Chains A and B, each alone.
Chain A
Amino acid sequence: MTDRIKHFLIVFDHAKGEMAQLVEFGEDSDRAVAAYSAKEKELQGKDMVEIVLIGSDSLSTVKLTHANYFDGSVAVSKYLEGIGTSA
């Protein structure tokens, strides 16, 4: 049932305001989940680093649904200028 979902492990560095790592696991869900837990253990205590595992049909969809990890991938309302972007 999950064989059409591709899995992406993202490491985002909030101190630098940029993605530090993006690993693609294709449709191998079990390997993606194991890598997710391993990465969280490896980087435990690093408060400014966020690790997340996202599954979708493509990376371009992830860029829309989880645009907070990608630059300029969604439109920004004039009211949000300077809020969702680097100061």
Chain B
Amino acid sequence: MRRTARVLGTAIVFAILMLFLSTDAPAAPRVRVAYWLMADVIRGGSNAVGAVGVQTNVFKQGEEVVFRARVLDIGNGQDPGQQGKGIKALQDLGLKVTAYLEDGQSFPLSYGRHPAQVQGREAATWFWSSAWKIPASRAPGSVKWWVIVTDKSGASVRFDPIGAGTALPPIAIIIEKR
């Protein structure tokens, strides 16, 4: 009986030891990116003085800044919204994408099809977007921006345009007189 207890005890100790040694989790980095986030700004169609829908960070007063973001699950490289087929999955994840301006404004991005109206077999894609119409009275200058993705699990990923926080020329949105 005593021998049996000893064998059993040894086995349990070994098992616990193996649990600690074999799992990868403790060795994994603490900071793990949950989403692959890419964002840019393009000129919207409202009051545009330049080409519409093109990438730019230089805008005139009254023009529309459109924030666009692509969010992929880092685990499988796929769009959690499955190109419009997984809207419920987005809701289940509680995925939220928000653009922020340094003046305190924030713009929730919505997940949608682009172009919104397609004809026939025209190709479309799904991503996140939102727009900010620059007030005509807005003072010229620059305004920093960034985008944050969050979900129900507490994941939070921030995107800053390349070169943000450096002495590089115009990383922020630049507003010029019309």
A and B assemble together: no
**B-binding residues in A (CB < 8 A):** none
